[in-house]
Amino acid sequence: MNPLDALRRGTTPLATPVYPLRATRFIDREYFNIVYRTDPEALRQVVPEPMTVTEPLVRFEVMKMGDVDGYGPYVESGQAIQVSVDGEHGEYLHSMYLNNFAATVSGRELSAYPKALGAPRLHVEEGALVGTLDRGSERIATATMAYKWEPLALDEAAAQITVPTFMVKLVPNVFTQGLSAADLVRTEISDITVKEAWTGPARLQLFEHALVPMADLPVLEVLSASHILTDLTLAPVQSVHDYLHGSGQ
């Protein structure tokens, strides 16, 4: 294999492609969202500038992927924090845990999604939508909502999913042990079809774990919940702030 052939592979291992190098299409992507109020000081400890915390609100999510190009079905769970960047309101993706290795590494390498391996699950049990996240044998989160309790307007559901999202992208420099890049990036889903949307009474419990610190953002009050079924395509990210050079883009 000559050097140009190696570069065209795009990922390692060179002889064993892990994920496709193209936009990813999701069919029957199922969201279970719970928005809750938390401790403002806890948010200030984990949200890097130039993002600012507008309200002490966090969205806990469990997403069940029905069919994904290049990856197949998997489940994902995480936390998104309501923030503002230069006057634009959106969400900072604070943590994401999923049960698919390829989707984990592609989210980190091709984009800036803060993904790590975990064991989330989304299912219906005795009239309740149940979302859980485990790490090994330890429970991290349990969320419940009355199943298809009350219809949610499709445009409102779409608005929940298409808010601007912000992430921190760090690229290590293996030669200097420093960083080659450090950027705050922005993305926004625009190619989306909402098929179903529901809301209802919900509860959320978070359990402390040293390696999955979701409970560091404690649940003080559950404000809303939604259960949404969509088709969508993820959009690429764009840099909005360069941490290494102290400038916006």
Residue positions annotated with a catalytic role: 115
SS (H, E, C) the chain: CCHHHHHHHCCCCCCCCCCCCCCCEEEEEEEEEEEEECCHHHHHHHCCCCCEEEEEEEEEEEEEEEEECCCCCEEEEEEEEEEEECCEEEEEEEEEEECCHHHHHHHHHCCCCCEEECEEEEEEECCEEEEEEEECCEEEEEEEEECCCEECCHHHHHHHHCCCEEEEEEEECCCCCCEEEEEEEEECCCEEEEEEEEECCEEEEECCCCCCCHHHCCCCEEEEEEEEEEEEECCCCEEEEECCCCEEC
